[in-house]
Amino acid sequence: MAEIDLEIVKQLREKTGAGVGDCNKAIREAQGNMEKAVDILRKKGIETATKKAGRIAGEGCVESYIHLGGKMGVLIEVNCETDFVARTEDFRVFVKDLTLQVAASNPHYVTREQVPPQMVEREKEILVAQVTGKPPAVVEKIVQGKLEKFFEENCLMDQIFVKDSGKKIKDYLAEISSKLGEKIVIKRFVRYQLGENE
């Protein structure tokens, strides 16, 4: 592919937030296919985020969101590496989006690794009991599928982003980390509902 249409590069940049050079390379690699180019950038974003995993994220912010006329609220802490990034509009929008996600989807954990092992085991037992009478391989496949659904409902990182059903929060995190060039960590959150028991 000799010539790259600048309009396609612009569209890809608007869609992904990636730099012009990265968009240009992705479009070339995808031979002009926009969807393939998005996937290429997302994969590179995840790789970039993985390389940043060893770095320390000691800056960031605590953001709040109050909903339903003061009947429900969310507090979330998101960390990054520098105060400069913590003050950028992209970072602030990301953190605000996370408060809306927690308010709307009510996750209980940030990652699936935080779910207590005994809870996962109990969930597996319940799921196995629900699909008795089938061959073991079929039972295993059904249980794994339902367990994934359990993680999607209960873990923030595994949830479908409420503003974009085409990606999960972990994809959004990888994208923003790649765009801002820093390690970003969703540290913790709490969701309060008026009259809700502990």
Q: CA 7, CA 87: separation in Å to the nearest integer?
A: 30
For 6-52, give the CATH class.
mainly alpha
Measured from the Cβ of residue 85, the count of other Cβ atoms closer than 10 Å reads 20
Rounded Cα–Cα distance for residues 154 and 156 (Å): 7
What pLDDT, on the 0 to 100 scale, is given for residue 168?
96
Strand order through the sheet with 59-67: 59-67, 72-80, 185-193
What dotted CATH number matches 56-111+155-193? 3.30.479.20
| Structure letter (DSSP) for residue 194 | T
Q: What pTM was estimated for this model as a whole?
A: 0.68
Domain ranges of the chain: 6-52, 56-111+155-193, 116-153
pLDDT value at residue 1: 44
Place of tokens 């602030």: 92
pLDDT at residue number 54: 62
Q: What's the pLDDT score for residue 61?
A: 93
pLDDT tens sequence across 130-148: 877 778 888 888 888 889 9
H/E element, 182:
none
Token couple for 17? 């937030």
Question: What pLDDT score was predicted for residue 57?
Answer: 64
User: Residue ranges of the chain with pLDDT lower than 50?
Assistant: 1-2
